[in-house]
């Protein structure tokens, strides 16, 4: 794999060999970290971390990974920078490109990461936009590969809001890597037609299949992996909760879904998740709508089938692979 100097904006830009290359590299870097081996090649470089939306995993993954590789990081939160308000994205990109070796961006439209990449002249890493969440996909694929030993032929069912960053990206990575992707959601939450067509092309090449269904029994039948995400994403208005609950409650991942899945099936979730009343938003929703768990029941979240914390750890190893592959001088 040679992706040195290349931005990581969406997995549409990468071949299945390259995606496998990232996974192999992440696996190797994970082993080296566990053996407390130093990884050289990136020391002294600096990465800017722009977060226009909040984060626990992605920010920590970039910071720990950069630190492990001997790199410096500068964290810019929405209130601490001029981005978009007093300074345009092209201007910001040209400034940061002169100071940093790489830029991570989490925020709104995909066009922002594209502009950052175009104008900064350094690799840009997409830490989540409205449309895509590509670093999450590497962690998901690594977690599946860790568990099953392979990716091709795995049946992956995604339930809930499939027309946003996580659903879109999961369809892309599954169709590239030869997994059978099942979108189990009301029709208005399916990924848009243009992206579905692009992915159908990838699937033809990889042997993947793409299925779209509103039927939960059909959608979860024989799934090897069932995955979901929050029903209301960052940046969406609070008023949308009622509609989302009405539309998506039938697509909650519960014990019946897991029982209908293949034997040995696992549950994944990018997190954070509303599976109990231990969050402020969870409690507010409970008071208003009487729901104590949302996209996944606490029973499934806490079950032995749940691999969500392995998945969260893999964010760090895979993000380290993305930065190493783009920035290391020793490859």
229 is catalytic: yes
Radius of gyration of the chain (CA): 19
Q: Does 171 bind ligand NVA (CB under 6 A)?
A: no
Footprint of ligand NVA on 269-298 (CB under 6 A)? 270
Shortest Cβ 40–ligand NVA spacing (Å): 31
Respond yes or no: is residue 155 known to be catalytic. Answer: no
* 133: annotated active-site residue: yes
Our answer to whether residue 307 is catalytic in this structure is no
Q: Indicate whether 131 belongs to the interface with ligand NVA (CB under 6 A).
A: no
**What is the maximum span of the chain, computed from C-alpha positions, in angstroms?**
56
Choose the binding region for ligand CP from 28-36, 50-58, 173-181, 259-267 (rule: CB under 6 A).
50-58
Q: Does 230 participate in binding ligand NVA (rule CB under 6 A)?
A: yes
- Nearer to ligand CP by Cβ, of 233 and 303: the residue is 233
Which partner in ligand CP, ligand NVA, none is near 56 (CB below 5 to 8 A by kind)? ligand CP
**Site track 199-238 with ligand CP (rule: CB under 6 A), x = hit:** ----------------------------------------
Nearer CB in complex with ligand NVA: 226/270: 270
Q: Determine whether 269 is an active site residue.
A: no
Q: Which of residues 142-201 bind ligand CP (CB under 6 A)?
A: none
Of residues 101 and 104, the one with the C-beta less far from ligand CP: 104
Q: Is 315 annotated in the active site? A: yes
* Of 77, 100, 99, 81, the residue nearest 89 (C-alpha): 81
Site for ligand CP in 266-295 (CB under 6 A): 270-272
From the list 9, 47, 48, 57, which residue makes contact with ligand CP (rule: CB under 6 A)? 57
- Partner residues linked to 99 by β-bridges: none
The closest residue (CB) to ligand NVA is 233
Catalytic member of 42, 199, 257, 270: 270
Contact between 56 and ligand CP per CB under 6 A = yes
Number of residues binding to ligand NVA, judged by CB under 6 A: 9
Cβ contacts of 232 within 8 Å, gap of 6 or more: 238, 240, 241, 244
CA distance 84 to 211: 39
By CB under 6 A, name the binding residues for ligand CP: 55-58, 128, 136, 270-272
Active-site annotation, residues = 106, 133, 136, 229, 270, 315
By CB under 6 A, name the binding residues for ligand NVA: 128, 164-166, 229-230, 233-234, 270
């Amino acid at each position: 794999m040679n992706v040195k100097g290349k931005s990581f904006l969406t997995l549409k830009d990468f071949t299945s060999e390259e995606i496998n290359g990232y996974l192999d590299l992440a696996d190797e870097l994970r082993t080296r970290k566990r053996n407390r081996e130093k990884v050289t090649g990136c020391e002294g470089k600096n990465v800017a971390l722009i977060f226009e939306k909040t984060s626990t995993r992605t920010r920590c993954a970039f910071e720990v990974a950069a630190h492990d590789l001997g790199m410096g990081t500068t964290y810019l939160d929405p209130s601490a920078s001029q981005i978009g308000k007093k300074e345009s994205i092209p201007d910001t990109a040209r400034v940061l490109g002169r100071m940093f070796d790489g830029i991570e961006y989490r925020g709104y439209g995909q066009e922002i990461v594209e502009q950052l990449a175009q104008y900064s002249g350094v690799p840009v890493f997409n830490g989540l936009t409205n449309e895509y969440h590509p670093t999450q996909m590497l962690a998901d694929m690594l977690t599946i590969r860790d568990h099953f030993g392979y990716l091709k032929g795995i049946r992956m069912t995604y339930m809930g809001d499939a027309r946003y960053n996580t659903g879109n990206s999961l369809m892309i990575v599954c169709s590239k890597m030869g997994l059978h992707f099942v979108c189990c959601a009301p029709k208005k939450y399916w990924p848009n037609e243009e992206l579905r067509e692009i992915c159908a092309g990838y699937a033809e090449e990889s042997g993947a299949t793409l299925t779209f269904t509103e039927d939960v029994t059909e959608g979860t039948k024989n799934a090897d992996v069932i995955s979901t995400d929050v029903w209301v994403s960052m940046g969406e208005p609070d008023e949308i909760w009622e509609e989302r609950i009405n539309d998506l409650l039938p697509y909650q991942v519960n014990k019946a879904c897991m029982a209908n899945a293949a034997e040995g099936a696992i549950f994944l979730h990018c997190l954070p998740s509303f599976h109990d009343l231990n969050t402020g938003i969870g409690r507010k929703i409970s008071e208003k709508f009487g729901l104590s768990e949302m996209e996944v029941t606490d029973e499934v979240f806490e079950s032995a089938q749940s691999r969500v914390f392995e998945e969260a750890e893999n964010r760090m190893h895979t993000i380290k692979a993305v930065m190493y592959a783009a920035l290391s001088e020793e490859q």
